[in-house]
Amino acid sequence: MKCDVLTLFPEVLEAYLNESILKRACEKDLLETRLYNIRDFATGPHRTVDDSPYGGGAGMVFKPEPLFSALDFLRDDGEPRKVILLSPQGRPFNQATAEDYSRETRRFVFICGRYEGVDERVMTLVDEEVSIGDYVITGGELAALVIIDAVTRLVPGALGDEKSAEEDSFSRGLLDYPHYTRPREFRGMKVPEVLFSGNHRQIYLWRRREALRKTVEMRPDLIEKFDLSDTDKKLLKEIEEEKV
């Protein structure tokens, strides 16, 4: 994954990008990130990047000039790019989107929005507007990190164990099953005996049942969209019968 991030606070992203899986992905050349301060592309003695909205109203609006100049600078090398504006008005980002992005051959450009929004003329430069949820946060920096993290996990070699990404929540349409490790008993709470059975089929069925149970309880909307197998339907029936 290759990406450029346009932001007013590059240091916010640097801290996260230099840790854990993303750091290792960079070291393996599986992830390449370049951070650009939008203020560097602003003009005037104060490098102003925002202004009050025409027509009145609360807040400030991102000026078009710095963003146009930044995109002109990035595109000067001729490398194909997919420009994404991070905004609460955008299409919802989910696991399916992450999988699509993991197959993208173009270099990403993430524009981290701020203030009340960006000048509408900036939209002529944008390929896609993306939101990470139906809520408002201070800026697009956190959203950029969410997307970069989610997509990088899907890049072969980034996690070391490819099954880790395959078994993540949402990768197969369901929430994840419960996980346990040592000690076998902690403060009176015991690890389910089936996990010590050595019976891979029974362990699979237990994990599948618990994943279905958690999804039904916490995200029933996912079940409605999920293509249930005959085994899934049988396990769901067992879960319903347990409630009686």
Whether residue 241 lies in the annotated active site: no
Match 């992450």 to its residue by tokens. Answer: 98
Our answer to whether residue 168 is catalytic in this structure is yes
| Two structure tokens written together for 142 | 């956190």
Q: Which two tokens stand for residue 193?
A: 């005996």
Amino acid in position 130: V
- Per the residue annotation, which of 39, 65, 88, 99 is the catalytic one? 88
Tell the residue number behind the tokens 């993208």, with chain if given: 104
Q: Is the dihedral of CA 52, 124, 73, 82 positive or negative?
A: positive
Name the catalytic one among 119, 168, 176, 232. Answer: 168
The residue to which tokens 């070391």 are assigned: 160
Catalytic residue among 114, 153, 209, 213: 153
Separation between Cα atoms, residue 192 and residue 228, nearest integer Å: 25
* Helix or strand holding residue 20 (H, E): helix 20-27
Out of 99, 116, 119, 176, the active site residue is: 116
Cα–Cα distance between 210 and 187 in angstroms, integer? 22
Distance CA 168, CA 149 (A): 13
User: Which amino acid, one-letter code, is at 73?
Assistant: F
Residue 184 CB coordination number (10 Å)? 11
Which amino acids are annotated catalytic?
88, 116, 153, 168
